[in-house]
Structure 1
Amino acid sequence: MSQATRILLALAAGLALGFAAWRWAPDFASSAASVADPIGNLWLNGLRMTIVPLLVALLVTGIAQTAEAARAGAIAGRALAWIIGLMTLSAVVGAFLTPFFLSIAPMPEASAAALRSALTTTSEVGEVPPFADFLRSLVPTNPIAAAASDAILPLIIFTGIFAAAVTRLPVEPRGLLTGFFSALADAMIVVIEWVLKLAPIGVFALAFVVGARSGSAAFGAVVHYILVVSAVGLVMSLLAYPLGVFGGRIPFGRFARTIAPAQALAVSTQSSLACLPIMLKKSEALGVPERTAGMVLPLAVALLRATGPAMNIAVALYVANWFGVEVGPAQYAVAILAAVLTSMGSVSLPGQVSFVTAIAPICLILGVPIEALALLIAVEVLPDIIRTLGNVMMDIAVTVTVSRQTGETVETDEAEEGRLFGADA
């Protein structure tokens, strides 16, 4: 049985037993929840303690890797520009679509109120500071203090500046620093993997508390969350088709038919890296020269998380809506920036690890409790399928677009392409 399955079963069992206690033994439910609550939060704190060091390490190594890619030549530079642009677009899509979907299909107020009461026992919902205070806080006077107080945005800004400075160092000291932060990230991932081995216990405890305090409201809320976040990711995934058609100048039918096997493998493996061989094959079938596909696709697999910013910001905004946090324009802008940076920092991490490291900083920036993430990570299976599917689709679309824009020879069906783009296509 996979770890994801064990966590999902723990969530279901915790909610079911908590609901049963709430329904038929309310006194027992109250006393049992008071015991389960600290157990669940002890496990949650085990995850929280890794967020800051892992975030810093991943940002430094991610920015260094991006800078190295930019030095690799015109094709890599063009691919990198598309990757950064699509990641930014993804975050914007998530920031706009999530409130829209929640406005047309809101979480039932009874469910939201019940879940708030179940999960706000250990942390307070943060208040949005005045805009002037917000601006003053962007540059930390003490990065260590910012890290200690979970001031994530100032910490991200400092880390970004530091990482940019690292990329300007000579080769030897640059390699020394990036090697240190790479090793730090690897060590933190090992710690998270240890903590995740205990996830069934922690998730069961937290789910029991939610079920015991909110009753049946929790079940509908979980389904609602899956549908909203998956819908955001699906919209971003579908943008791969117009990019392939108009950026790569490939007829829609041909593009859709060619990438279908890669889509099927993405759904079955939930791993972009596992799909790399078939993506290379299908990109060449779409006319991308082997040398171009061999450069762009590995770069896209390593750096492009096309659905990541959209779905990560969707999770954070969903939790903000859940807890009634008002998000203003400045906070949206900051959340978009954080979603892009943390998604680029979560390169090649396992899904459950990247879920915490990429979304928790956004939640902390918005001032919402991250306790909800411990429950939502258990139902990440379906959203994670959408994430991988969209990433694979967009990796191929970017590859054919870069190939076309850099003047590489693309073998196409001239008759079909002529019908789509005109006789001079």
Structure 2
Amino acid sequence: MSLTVRIMIALVAGLACGIALSEFGDALDARIVDIAQPVGKAWLNGLQMPLIPLIFALLVTGVASAASTARTSGTATRTLILFALLLTASAAVAALLGPLLLQLWPVPAGAVGALAGAGPTTEVPGVRPSAEWLLGFIPANPIHSAAEGQVVAVVLFALVFGFAVTRVAEERRIALTGFLAALEDTLLIVVGWVLWLAPIGVFALALVAGSRSGLATAGALLHYIGFIVLICLTVTALVYPLVILLGRIAPGRFARAVLPAQLIAFSTQSSIASLPAMIAASDGPLAVRESTRSIVLPLAISLFRITSPPANLGVALYVAAMNGVALGPLQIAMGVAVAAIVSLAAVGLPSQITFFTTTGPICLAMGVPVEALPLLLAVETVPDIFRTVGNVTADMGVTRIIDRLGGGTGTRD
């Protein structure tokens, strides 16, 4: 039985037990909740424990690898620049669309706080538009910033450190990136051990949430799925006019070209499984030169997840709404930046680990509680389908755009 299935079973069982306790509970049942609460909290703390050093290692190795790739050819450089622009733009779409959706289609009545976790929540502290606010991004002591969970400062330091690594002598650069890659692998093993216990932690957290809010918890999870799916569909839809404009291709032609790969992505939830169909479309109806396709498609599969920043930012926005946390423009702007950067750092990781390494830093940067993330992971299977479809669509779109920017004619029928 896969980990995803075990987590789903634990979620359903925990919610059922918690709802039963809320409806028919007595003093003994209250003690059961008191036991489950620290169990869930302890597991969540274990999951957060390796998060900051893992993000640092992922970012440094990712920046060093991307810089090395960009030096290989002009096509690779243009591709990476386009990736960065589109990832930031897609996160900005969620920053604008997410609050609007939550206003027009709010969290179900009575569900606020249903996934809040173990303790009371407070409003995000005000951010002062002053020199002190700016200095908060420059960590005087990066280790202290990491210990305090100041994700934005850690991310900035990791980016600077990663670019600096590319400037040292090759022998030392290889040694340093090798050490960080080993650190990354070690931390992923630790995360894997913690995730092996996920059914226990998710059951405990779901029991507490169900006992607190009853059936409202289940309603909130269904609402959450719809919210994230809408964001993914919107970003995917925006890819079409972008490719039509910059890739200079007819709408129907592009839609027909990407459809086979989209169907494979929908059924397998795997971009790699869609790669043969993407290659066939690039060589056929998209009329992309082989020299472009051979560079852009592998880079896109490896690095480019256009739905990750908006969906992950959407998770943070939804958790904030669930907890009654008010977010200002500056908090959301920080979320956009972290979402775009972290999406590049977490490529190639297992899906369960990816969810935490991408959504966790965004929540921490925005001051949003992370206790609900394990419960949302349990229902991530449905949004992940639409994430993958959007990613495959964008991968093929950027391949066409880069080919046109590089002088391709795209005239093949």
Q: TM-score range by the shorter chain?
A: over 0.9
**Paired letter, 1:241:** Y
Return the offset for 1:296: 0.4
Return the offset for 1:126: 4.7
Superposition pairs for residues 69-108 of structure 1, below 5 Å? 69-108=69-108
SS in 2 for 1:239: helix
Q: Which runs of 5+ in 2 are unaligned?
A: none
- TM-score, normalisation: structure 2: 0.95
Deviations 1:17-43 (A, max 9, x none): 110121112434311111111111121
State the partner residue of 1:213: 212
**Paired letter, 1:99:** P
**Paired letter, 2:324:** G
Superposition pairs for residues 25-424 of structure 1, below 5 Å? 25-116=25-116, 119-121=117-119, 126-132=124-130, 133-285=132-284, 286-413=286-413
Does the aligned pair in 1 maintain the 2:115–2:371 contact within 8 Å? no
Deviations 1:141-193 (A, max 9, x none): 11111111111111111111111111122222222222211221121112112
Does the aligned pair in 2 maintain the 1:97–1:232 contact within 8 Å? yes
Say which is worse superposed, 322-331 or 159-168, in terms of deviation: 322-331
Name the one with the larger helix percent: 1
Does the aligned pair in 2 maintain the 1:140–1:154 contact within 8 Å? yes
CA distance in 1 between partners of 2:22 and 2:73 (Å): 62
Does the aligned pair in 2 maintain the 1:114–1:217 contact within 8 Å? yes
CA distance in 2 between partners of 1:371 and 1:228 (Å): 19
CA distance in 1 between partners of 2:216 and 2:233 (Å): 26
CA distance in 1 between partners of 2:165 and 2:133 (Å): 27
Deviations 1:230-285 (A, max 9, x none): 11111111222223322222222221112111111111221222322321222111
**Paired letter, 1:145:** H
Return the offset for 1:10: 1.1
SS in 1 for 2:287: coil
Return the offset for 1:120: 4.2
Alignment identity in percent? 45
Question: How many residue pairs align between the two structures?
Answer: 411
Deviations 1:47-88 (A, max 9, x none): 101101110011101111221121121111111121111101
CA distance in 1 between partners of 2:205 and 2:48 (Å): 15
Return the offset for 1:127: 2.4
Q: Which runs of 5+ in 1 are unaligned?
A: 414-425
State the partner residue of 1:421: none
CA distance in 2 between partners of 1:123 and 1:95 (Å): 22
Does the aligned pair in 2 maintain the 1:320–1:366 contact within 8 Å? no
CA distance in 2 between partners of 1:348 and 1:234 (Å): 23
Say which is worse superposed, 200-209 or 254-263, in terms of deviation: 254-263
Deviations 1:297-342 (A, max 9, x none): 0011111110011011111111112222222222222111101111
**Paired letter, 2:288:** V
**Paired letter, 1:58:** L
CA distance in 2 between partners of 1:29 and 1:150 (Å): 35
CA distance in 1 between partners of 2:126 and 2:349 (Å): 31
CA distance in 2 between partners of 1:371 and 1:115 (Å): 8
**Paired letter, 2:363:** C
Does the aligned pair in 1 maintain the 2:15–2:209 contact within 8 Å? yes
Does the aligned pair in 2 maintain the 1:229–1:311 contact within 8 Å? yes
Q: 1:242 to 1:297 in 2, by over 3 A?
A: same
CA distance in 2 between partners of 1:288 and 1:264 (Å): 21
Does the aligned pair in 2 maintain the 1:288–1:410 contact within 8 Å? yes
CA distance in 2 between partners of 1:26 and 1:389 (Å): 47
CA distance in 2 between partners of 1:126 and 1:331 (Å): 9
**Paired letter, 2:186:** A
Does the aligned pair in 2 maintain the 1:288–1:411 contact within 8 Å? no
Deviations 1:183-223 (A, max 9, x none): 21121112112211111111011101111121111011111
CA distance in 2 between partners of 1:267 and 1:113 (Å): 32
CA distance in 2 between partners of 1:406 and 1:226 (Å): 39
**Paired letter, 1:55:** I
SS in 1 for 2:139: coil
- TM-score, normalisation: structure 1: 0.93
Does the aligned pair in 1 maintain the 2:262–2:392 contact within 8 Å? yes
CA distance in 2 between partners of 1:323 and 1:330 (Å): 19
Does the aligned pair in 1 maintain the 2:14–2:205 contact within 8 Å? yes
CA distance in 1 between partners of 2:158 and 2:82 (Å): 23
CA distance in 2 between partners of 1:189 and 1:363 (Å): 20
CA distance in 2 between partners of 1:51 and 1:131 (Å): 29
**Paired letter, 1:152:** V
Does the aligned pair in 1 maintain the 2:108–2:223 contact within 8 Å? no
Q: Cα RMSD between the aligned structures?
A: 1.6
Say which is worse superposed, 236-245 or 354-363, in terms of deviation: 236-245
